[in-house]
Amino acid sequence: MTALGFYTRGVGATTTTFGTLPGRYLDIYAGQGAEEGILRMPEAREVASRDVPRHTSDFRERVRAVVEREIAPRARAVDQKAEFPRDGYLALVRNGLYATHVPVRYGGEGASAPAAAVVVEEIARACASTSLVVSVTRLATLPLLAHGRESLREKYLQAVAKDGAIFSFALSEPEAGSDPGAMRTRAVRDEGHFVLAGTKRWITNASEAQYFLVFAVTEPDAPRNRISAFVVERDDPGVSVGAAEDKLGLRGSPTCEVHFDGVRVPAERLVGEPGSGLGIALEALDHSRVSIAAQAVGIAQGALDCAAEYLGVRRQFGRQIGEFQGLRFMVASMAMKLAAARELTYAAAGHSESADESLRFFAAAAKCFASDTAMEVTIDAVQLLGGNGYTREFPVERMMRDAKATQIYEGTNQILRSVIAREVLPERPPTS
């Protein structure tokens, strides 16, 4: 086997070792998410996490074909112009890959958590900014599936699944990032309505969103259960969106402040019970961290694929640089870590599917491990391309910049290590 063959087949195999998904794509999971919503699917428990990868290959190839045709060619321009990836997002809507998690009866695909992770991973392999359109709309609508009244589900889930509506998740504030319980946005009851006032920060896709899932304090004097969740519409009077942040990476993904200035929201748009909002947010984040892990795996795979190809064609000292043992060892380490990150991610997706008690640990561990891996792998990919890796002619520097965000959002990796430690260490009485 030539060096080129080794790299293209050997390394590429990390994405193709999975078995076949029987039947029409998503069929295997259709029905499981269809009736009960993705957070409550007891029958899905039979999808053991170790079985998940075997079921994703055929589906993965279908997603990859759409991504390579419709999203990859525009990824560089999306980054360089800091433009929302509209064409890619519309292609996902057209191909039934935008809101796969929405149950069939609301017009979605009823896809499982593992299938949804495959979609995000494959998009992120080419364009992480585009993958965030999918993962954040999913994060913001999971609470509707789990806790929303039927009228809310019908209206908003159908808008997402049938019309491709974008939903933002508005939890963070200027003074409340890792500590969302410190939020100041208020929602005050007033004659069958809640009146919202405050500012949210770092809100992904805010400038494109038709809808926001907003978390606000309804019970300021209560020691706990102070926060509630609401659906707010972009056209509600008093909603305004600030300019997009000028970010290091994910430059095609608009991240904005959103201001709520006396926004009157009908009480029917409350999601879940009053005071249950923080629990709802944390539950949704547990599930969504699997998507961020998948996003990180996709970014790392894109960088590894690029580096592997480069090592097969670049020559120095009269040889392909892929023949140098020092670089082969680097590639081996990258592939090892990536394989471990992917396995952990799909194990976490299995726990997300069954919504079992191990989810919190596995989702935090997968997000931490995969995002740290994405950072390491993309930095090494830049190194393997030498000077070319440091230019915008090649995608690895973009992937390195994009990877960084996966260590920060949906719980920084410091916060997630605290979550993991809490799951591992027994509760101890406070020391005096």
Ligand X SMILES: Cc1cc2nc3c(=O)[nH]c(=O)nc-3n(C[C@H](O)[C@H](O)[C@H](O)COP(=O)(O)OP(=O)(O)OC[C@H]3O[C@@H](n4cnc5c(N)ncnc54)[C@H](O)[C@@H]3O)c2cc1C
Angle at 233 between CA 231 and CA 239, to 5 degrees: 110
Find, among 144, 126, 71, the residue nearest to 396 by Cα: 126
Nearer to ligand X, 100 or 288 (CB): 288
Cβ 213 to ligand X shortest distance, Å? 9
Least distance (Å) between residue 415 CB and ligand X: 6
Cα separation, 109 vs 214, in Å, equals 26
Q: Which of 83, 135, 419, 165 is nearest to 298 (CA)?
A: 135
CB of 109 to ligand X, least distance (A): 23
Q: Which of 191, 245, 410, 423 is catalytic?
A: 410
Closest approach, Cβ 352 to ligand X, in A, equals 19
Kindly compute the dihedral angle of the four CA atoms of residues 10, 367, 114, 38, in this order, to the nearest 10 degrees: -170
Between 394 and 409, name the residue whose CB sits nearer to ligand X. Answer: 409
Query: Taking each helix axis from N to C terminus, what angle separates 325-354 and 113-126, rounded to the nearest 10 degrees?
Result: 150
Cα(374)–Cα(371) distance, integer angstroms: 5
Q: How far is the CB of 293 from ligand X (least distance, A)?
A: 15
For residue 219, indicate whether it is catalytic.
no
| Min dist. Cβ of residue 291 to ligand X (A) | 12
How far apart, in whole angstroms, are the C-alpha atoms of residue 265 and residue 262?
9
Of 9 and 422, nearer to ligand X (C-beta) is 422
Helix, strand, coil share of the chain (percent; to 5): 55, 15, 30
Q: How far apart are CA 316 and CA 230, in angstroms?
A: 59
Q: What is residue 355's three-state secondary structure?
A: coil
Report the interface residues with ligand X, using CB under 6 A.
136, 168-172, 177-178, 202-204, 247, 250, 255, 405, 408-409, 412, 414-415, 418
Q: In Å, how far are 99, 142, 268, 285, 296 from 353, measured between CA atoms? A: 16, 12, 28, 14, 20
Q: Which is nearer to ligand X, 193 or 247 (CB)?
A: 247
Which residue shows structure tokens 């992120």?
124
The nearer residue to ligand X, 29 or 167, going by C-beta atoms, is 167
Residue of this chain nearest to ligand X (CB atom): 177
Residue 128 Cβ vs ligand X, minimum distance, rounded to whole Å: 10
Q: Which of 101, 96, 105, 141 is nearest to 117 (CA)?
A: 101
Burial of 376 (0-12, 13-18, 19+ CB in 10 A): middle
Tallying the residues shown for the chain, one arrives at 432
What spatial distance separates the first Cα and last Cα of the chain, rounded to whole Å? 66
Distance in angstroms (rounded) separating the CA atoms of residues 44 and 430: 39
Distance CA(119)–CA(122), nearest Å, equals 5
Least gap, CB of 227 to ligand X (angstroms): 13
Quote the CA–CA distance of 220 and 198 in Å, as a whole number.
14
Distance from chain centroid for Cα 427: 31
- Which of these, 207, 89, 231, 208, lies nearest to 157 by C-alpha position? 231
Integer angstrom CA distances of residue 37 from 32, 155, 156, 320: 8, 15, 14, 52
Comparison of 29 and 202: residue with beta carbon closer to ligand X: 202
| Residues carrying an active site annotation | 410
